[in-house]
């Protein structure tokens, strides 16, 4: 059906090699033949068969991206950024969803489908640091997130501890001292939850404030419903609090919802801050203060590192680790900064 190099060669009355040379921009071709070939290509609507090229070259021009699930806004926005970055390099992206399930994650990294991609950007959720050795796979791999540190793979991560400390410090600057955290993961040492809580503790200690375990609320899932439920639970305990730090925006948005439903005003009674800077956080009511942990930079970097690995021919460079920059995005939900001498400097004030 589709025209092949062979068909073009026949029509242009040259060899198949010459057509290939033209297609691949080989410089030493007589202008007249080149023109003839180009005409034949146009006439037949020839397009190179990428599968055949992939077989020959050992590269397909497609990378894989494995995330827990796209319905989680963070991963949708991450995938969006990865696809854009890859597209700038002329590379396609095949997406896998793991549901954060360890078995699925394990199956995925050795799946035959990996053969159709030149490398994988992988954001694990079920695997942990103890699984690091399993990630010594035979193809280029870039890890995202905080679940695994010691793997023999490049790693792009965010400054969880520092960013969480910055968020907490800003709550303290708003005059809050009883800051609840929602979304903690029981017994976790690494992982986003644990690291962000470490930053929270750091900031409290730095301010000479105690860390009240009653204010650290668990929630395995980080969906909106969990944020709401967790805050309702907190309200029921009667433990006083004047701020909520949602370990991600989705939790924080759920928290705002539950607070308002309970007649608690945000930020007058309780300040709220999240983490991730989702698109929608700018449009919640009140708009959500949050940490922009560098999602787009992470996507760009992950794609760049992966493509570098794929292009690598000789000895492998040592594995690299990159931390993206973060910034605090101040919006309505946090309340004024009492230490601020220049309130007009505040960012991201919605109209």
Partner DNA sequence: TTGTAAGCGTTATCAC
Partner DNA sequence: GTGATAACGCTTACAA
Site string for a second copy, 260-289 (x = CB under 8 A): xx-----------------xx-xxxx----
Candidates 200, 288, 294, 293; CA nearest to 249 is: 288
Determine which residue in the list 94, 129, 177, 319 makes contact with a second copy, applying CB under 8 A: 94
User: Contacts with a second copy in 218-257 (CB under 8 A)?
Assistant: 223-225, 228, 253-254, 256-257
Element (H or E) spanning 152, and its range? none
CB of 195 to a second copy, least distance (A): 25
Helices (H), the chain: 5-12, 16-23, 31-44, 50-57, 73-88, 102-110, 160-173, 191-206, 224-237, 249-261, 295-311
**Span near a second copy by CB under 8 A; candidates 26-34, 71-79, 234-242, 299-307:** 71-79
> Residue 242: which of 212, 270, 207 has the closest Cα?
270
Contact status: 329 vs DNA (CB under 7 A)? no
- Name which of 22 and 258 has its Cβ closer to DNA: 22
Placement of tokens 């095949």 in the chain: 94
Among 53, 102, 185, 198, binds DNA (CB under 7 A): 53
For DNA, give the closer residue by CB, 43 or 52.
52
Q: Exposed, middle or buried by CB within 10 Å (0-12, 13-18, 19+), for 327?
A: middle
The full length of the chain comes to 351
Alpha-carbon gap, residue 55 to 58, rounded angstroms: 5
Q: How far is the CB of 335 from a second copy (least distance, A)?
A: 17
Judged by beta carbon, residue 191 or residue 254, the one nearer a second copy is 254
Which of DNA, a second copy, none interacts with 73 (beta carbon under 5 to 8 A by kind)?
a second copy
19, 41, 79, 142: which one contacts a second copy (CB under 8 A)? 79
Residue 58: exposure state from Cβ atoms within 10 A (0-12, 13-18, ≥19):
exposed
Q: Are 238 and 261 in contact (CB under 8 A)?
A: no
**Cα(181)–Cα(203) distance, integer angstroms:** 13
**Of residues 8-27, those binding DNA (CB under 7 A):** 13-18, 20-21, 23-24, 26
Binding range to a second copy, per CB under 8 A, among 81-89, 170-178, 181-189, 201-209: 81-89
Q: How many CB atoms lie within 10 A of CB 244?
A: 31
The pair of structure tokens assigned to 152 is 């023999």
- Dmax (CA) for the chain in angstroms is 86
The Cβ of residue 284 has, within 10 Å, a number of other Cβ atoms equal to 22
Is 55 among the residues that bind DNA (CB under 7 A)? yes
Q: Per CB under 7 A, does 250 bind DNA?
A: no
Distance CA 180, CA 157 (A): 25
Q: Does 120 bind a second copy (CB under 8 A)?
A: no
Q: Which of these ranges, 42-50, 178-186, 269-277, 341-349, lies near a second copy under the rule CB under 8 A?
A: 42-50
Total number of residues that touch DNA (CB under 7 A): 30
207 binds DNA (CB under 7 A): no
CA distances in angstroms from 236 to 221, 259, 263, 306, listed in the order given: 20, 12, 13, 48
Instruction: Kindly list the residues in this chain that would bind DNA in the complex (CB under 7 A).
Output: 2, 4-6, 13-18, 20-21, 23-24, 26, 28-30, 32-34, 46-49, 52-53, 55-57
**What residues make contact with a second copy under the rule CB under 8 A?**
1-2, 47-52, 54-55, 60-62, 69-71, 73, 76-77, 79-80, 83-84, 87, 92-97, 112-113, 115-116, 138, 223-225, 228, 253-254, 256-257, 260-261, 279-280, 282-285
């Amino acid at each position: 059906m589709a025209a092949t190099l062979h068909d073009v060669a026949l029509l242009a009355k040259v060899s198949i090699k010459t057509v290939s040379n033209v297609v691949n921009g080989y410089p030493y071709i007589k202008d007249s033949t080149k023109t003839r070939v180009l005409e034949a290509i146009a006439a037949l609507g020839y397009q190179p068969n990428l599968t055949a090229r992939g077989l020959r070259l050992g590269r397909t021009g497609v990378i894989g991206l494995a995330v827990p699930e796209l319905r989680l806004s963070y991963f949708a926005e991450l995938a969006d950024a990865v696809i854009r970055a890859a597209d700038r390099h002329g590379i396609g992206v095949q997406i896998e969803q793991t549901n954060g399930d360890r078995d699925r994650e394990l199956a995925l990294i050795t799946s035959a489908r990996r053969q159709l991609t030149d490398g994988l950007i992988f954001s694990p959720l079920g695997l942990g640091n103890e699984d690091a050795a399993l990630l010594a796979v035979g193809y280029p791999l870039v890890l995202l997130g905080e679940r695994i540190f010691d793997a023999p793979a490049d790693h792009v991560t965010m400054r969880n501890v520092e960013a969480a400390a910055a968020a907490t410090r800003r709550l303290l600057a708003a005059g809050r001292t009883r800051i609840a955290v929602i979304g903690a993961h029981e017994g976790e040492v690494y992982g986003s939850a644990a690291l962000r809580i470490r930053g929270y503790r750091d900031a409290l200690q730095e301010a000479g404030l105690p860390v009240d375990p009653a204010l650290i609320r668990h929630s395995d899932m980080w969906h909106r419903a969990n944020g709401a439920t967790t805050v309702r639970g907190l309200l029921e305990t009667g433990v006083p609090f004047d701020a909520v730090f949602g370990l991600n925006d989705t939790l924080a948005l759920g928290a705002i919802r539950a607070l308002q439903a309970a007649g608690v005003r945000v930020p007058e009674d309780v300040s709220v801050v999240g983490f991730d800077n989702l698109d929608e956080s700018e449009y919640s009511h009140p708009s959500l203060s949050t940490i922009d942990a560098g999602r787009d930079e992470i996507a760009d970097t992950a794609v760049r590192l992966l493509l570098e690995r794929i292009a690598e021919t000789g000895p492998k460079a040592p594995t690299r680790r990159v931390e993206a920059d973060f910034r605090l995005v101040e919006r309505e939900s946090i309340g004024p900064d009492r230490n601020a001498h220049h309130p007009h400097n505040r960012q991201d004030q919605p109209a």
